[in-house]
Chains A and B, each alone.
Chain A
Amino acid sequence: MDLWCRIRPYLSTTVRFLHVSYIEAKNEHSGARFGLLWTPLSALIFSAMLALVFRHSDAVPAGEYFLYVFCGYVFWSFVSDSVTGSTDIIQSRLDFAIHNNLSLLGLFGKTLVDRLFEYFMNVGVLILLIAIFRLHDLGMGLLLFPPFLLLIILASLGGSYLTNIVTVLYPDMKTAVKVGARFMFFASPVFWSVDTSHGTRALLAHYNPVAYYLAAARQVFGLQPLEPVAWIVTAAMSFLVALAGYLAYRTSKSFVRNFK
C-alpha cells in the first residue's frame, strides 16, 4: 500500500503525459486520412523495404525476416529519437515547459513519454503481427518487457540529457550527433543479422552496445533465443548512461538554462 502511494503520482503523471502526447501527435497528422496510423504505417513500410532489400539468406523465411527487421527498426526509432531528438530540448522547449508548470527534469520526462508513446504504438502493431503470424513465439519472453522498458527508459532519459548538454556546450555536436546516429543505424544489426562468428558484422555486433539492446528487444518478443549476456550488457549500459546523465544534470542545472 505504501509503495502504491509512492508510485501513484508518477503513474498519474505518466498517464497525463501520454494523453498530452496523444493530442499533440494527433495534431501533427491533422487533416491526413490515416491520421495517427501514419506512425506505425511508415515504420511498417520502411521495415518491409529493408527486409526485402537486405534479406541475405534464403534459409530465413521472408515473413520471419520482416518481423526481425520490424522489431529492430521499432526499437532503433526509439534510440534514434532519444539521441537526435534531444539536441535542442532546453534551447527550444524550456520556455513552453515553464509556462506549463514543468521543471527542467519534467521537460525531459515529457519528451521521454512522447518517445514512449510512439514506441508503444509500434510495439502494439508488432505484437499484433507476431500474434497473427507466429503466435508460438509469443511466450514467457513478454514477461521481460517491463524490465526491458525500465532499462530503455533509464538509458533514454540519461542519454537525452547528455546529448542536450553536449550540444549546448559544443554546438558542432548537433550535426555530429545526427551523422553519428545515421552511422550507428548501419553499424547496428537493425536490418542485418549476426550469422557468423567472425568478420565485420560480428565485430560490430560485439563492440556496439546498441546490438545488445536490439538483441534484448527481439528476445522479449521471441524473435531471438534468450541470451543472458545481452541482458547483462543492456542493464550495465543503461545504469551507466543514467548515472552519467544524472551527474551531468547535478553539475549543470545551475547554468544550463542560462545559455543563450
Chain B
Amino acid sequence: MAKIELENVSVSYYLRKQGDVSKTTERGAVGAEVIIGRRYLEVAALRDISISIQDGDRVGLVGLNGSGKSTLLKLCAGALGYQSGRVKIEGQVSPQFALGSGLRPRLSGRRNTELKCLYMGVPQSEILRRVEEVKELSGLGGYFELPIHSYSAGMRSRLVMSLLRLVRGEILIMDEWINAVDPSLHATVGGLQKQLIDRAKILILASHSRRVLEEWVDRLVWLDCGKIRADGAIGEVYEEYQRWLDERGGKKTAKLAP
C-alpha cells in the first residue's frame, strides 16, 4: 500500500540577500512570489497545497516554469522540507529528477549498479545476480564495464531505466528529463519505461508535453504560482490549461502590438 497525502502544505526556498533586493519582488510572467525577509529572500514555491494520491494513481503535473512542479516532486521525495501543513508518505520512493542523478559518472555501469544495490538494501548474496540482470536489461553489452561519463544520452537512459526497475520503488517520481531524451531514442527506452511504470504503485510525472502526459498518466494536476489550479482527468485539465495558455498568449500579443 502506497500513498501520498499533503494537507495545506507550504514550501519556501531561502536565498541569501545580496546587494539591492528591492527589485526582486517585481512579478514576472513566471515564478513564485519572492518575499523579502529580515536576512533572507523567501521564494514561496508552494502555498497551501492539498492533494491525496493513492495506490494505482498515475499523476501528471503541468504548469509554467516556476509554477512549483519540481518543488512538489522534491517534497514528495523528501528532498525538501515544508514550512507548514502536514505531509504523509507511505511506501518506498524512487525519484529521478534528472537523467543520471544519483550515479557516479566516473564509475562504470557495473560499479554504479553495485552501489545502487547496496544503497537500496539488496541482500549481499543477491547483488551479483541483480547486477547481471541490469546488464541484460539495459542491453549495454561491453559499455556496461565503461565509465558512464562515456555514455551517450540514450545509453544513460537505458542504464537509469534498468536501475530504476531494479530498485522497484513503490512511488516513482520523474521530472521532465524523459522528454529531453532524443525522440528517436524514446522508442528504445520506452519499453523499459513502460515496465518500470507498470510496476510502480504510484507515478508522479512532471512534463510540458501533452504527448508524454497522455501516454503515461490519467490524472493531471495543474500548478500555477505555487497553488493547485485544477486537479482531475487529464483530458479536462489539459484542455483548461491549454485554453488558459492561449488566452495568456493572446493577451501578451495584444500588449506587444503597436
Contact = CB atoms under 8 A, between A and B. Distances in A.
B157 interface: no
A255 B104 contact: no
15 contacts: A16-B118, A17-B118, A23-B111, A24-B104, A96-B101, A98-B74, A98-B95, A101-B92, A101-B94, A254-B83, A255-B14, A255-B83, A258-B11, A259-B15, A260-B43
B146 interface: no
B95 to A, nearest CB: 6
A256 B81 contact: yes
A27 B79 contact: no
B77 A98 contact: yes
B107 interface: yes
Interface string A7-19: 0000000001101
B138 interface: no
Contacts of A17: 118
Given A98-B78, A100-B115, A102-B119, 5 more contacts: A99-B103, A254-B83, A257-B81, A258-B14, A260-B43
Contacts of A187: none
B114 A23 contact: yes
B116 interface: yes
Contacts of B114: 23
B118 A258 contact: no
A14 to B, nearest CB: 12
Interface in A15-64: 16-17, 19-20, 23-24, 27, 30
Interface string B82-101: 11000000001111110001
A171 interface: yes
B114 to A, nearest CB: 6
A203 to B, nearest CB: 38
A124 B111 CA distance: 26
Interface string A246-260: 000000011111111
Contact of B111 (A27, A99, A101, A255): A27
Interface in B14-71: 14-16, 43
A103 B111 contact: no
Nearest to B114: A23
Contacts of B77: 98
A95 interface: yes
A260 B79 contact: no
B101 A99 contact: yes
Given A19-B118, A94-B79, A257-B81, A100 B102 contact: yes
A20 B103 CA distance: 13
A103 B122 CA distance: 17
Contacts of A23: 107, 111, 114-115, 118
Contact of B119 (A20, A258, A259): A20
Interface string B1-23: 00000000001111110000000
The 9 closest A-B pairs by CB, nearest first: A99-B102, A100-B119, A254-B81, A98-B79, A99-B101, A257-B81, A20-B118, A259-B14, A260-B15
A253 B81 CA distance: 7
Interface in B96-151: 96-97, 101-104, 106-107, 111, 114-116, 118-121, 124
